[in-house]
């Protein structure tokens, strides 16, 4: 019975990851189309998608490439957009930190918004899960998400602009992040950080090369950390 438990948990992860296909596929299609339109070859597009596996950072970097932004700005923007992955990793460490290093390496690669959000919800709801079960659930979540990210990126790159405008594939980008961020606004610190990032990103939208996004993200982290420290002191 104990040996079958991780298999059951893995299948539950696959089931919980399936709804994300509705946003992952159009998101990846958008990236494939945009990458080809920006001048990337098919191999470059797929290499970008497989190695980076982070849609928001990929699209932000492509936009800056089209604008002929300096390489330093492109790299800094992509890193800033993906800085949340470092916070995701720190949050997952208490749950998966005892796993073998090769499994942690695989988790680090598959640690995207969808796998992180759902795994943390499950881990908090079932604190009695063993590390084997936690890993099985995480990998189950990644099973429908990651391969379809690759496949849809390929389809978008090959099909290119042949997708009709009425499909409005770009809806997936904001919808994805709204669905992931909203449930995480659990404290005043979270809300303060989110509000700061939104206000500053809109206010500084006119800055060249999306540098306003870098400033907004940095200030949001400072505000969130400051509010959390203040709350701890009052407690």
pLDDT, tens digit, 9 for 90 and up, residues 98-121: 999 999 999 999 999 889 989 999
Residue 213 has a pLDDT of: 74
Query: 31-35, 43-47, 52-56, 199-203: which has the minimum mean pLDDT?
Result: 52-56
DSSP 20-66: GHHHHHHHHHHHHHHHHHTT--HHHHHHHHHHH--HHHHHHHHHHHH
Confidence of residue 171 (pLDDT cuts 50, 70, 90): low
Assess contact for 48 and 20: CB atoms under 8 A.
no
Query: What does the alpha-carbon distance between residue 124 and residue 117 come to, in Å, rounded to a whole number?
Result: 11
Cβ 44 vs Cβ 35: under 8 Å: yes
Neighbours of 133 (CB within 10 A): 21
Give the pLDDT score at 192. 86
**63 Cβ partners below 8 Å, 6+ apart?**
210
Q: What is the pLDDT of residue 1?
A: 38
* Lowest pLDDT segment from 78-82, 151-155, 183-187: 183-187
Would you say residue 95 has pLDDT above 50?
Answer: yes
């Amino acid at each position: 019975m104990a040996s079958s438990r991780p298999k059951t948990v893995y299948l539950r992860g696959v089931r919980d990851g399936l709804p994300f296909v509705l946003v992952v596929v159009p998101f990846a299609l958008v990236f494939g189309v945009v990458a080809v339109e920006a001048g990337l070859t098919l191999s470059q597009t797929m290499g970008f998608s497989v190695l980076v596996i982070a849609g928001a950072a990929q699209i932000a970097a492509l936009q800056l490439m089209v604008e002929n932004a300096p390489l330093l700005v492109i790299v800094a923007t992509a890193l800033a957009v993906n800085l949340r992955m470092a916070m995701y990793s720190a949050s997952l460490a208490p749950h998966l930190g005892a796993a073998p290093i090769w499994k942690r390496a695989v988790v680090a690669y598959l640690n995207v918004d969808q796998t992180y959000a759902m795994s943390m919800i499950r881990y908090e709801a079932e604190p009695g899960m063993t590390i084997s079960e936690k890993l099985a659930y995480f990998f189950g979540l990644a099973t429908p998400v990651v391969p379809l990210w690759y496949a849809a990126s390929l389809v978008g790159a090959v099909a290119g602009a042949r997708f009709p405008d009425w499909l409005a594939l770009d809806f997936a980008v904001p919808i994805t992040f709204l669905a992931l961020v909203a449930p995480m606004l659990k404290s005043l610190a979270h809300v303060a950080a989110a509000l700061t990032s939104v206000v500053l990103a809109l206010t500084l939208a006119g800055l060249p090369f999306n540098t306003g996004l870098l400033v907004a993200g940095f200030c949001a982290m400072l505000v969130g950390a400051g509010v959390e420290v203040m709350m701890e002191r009052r407690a």
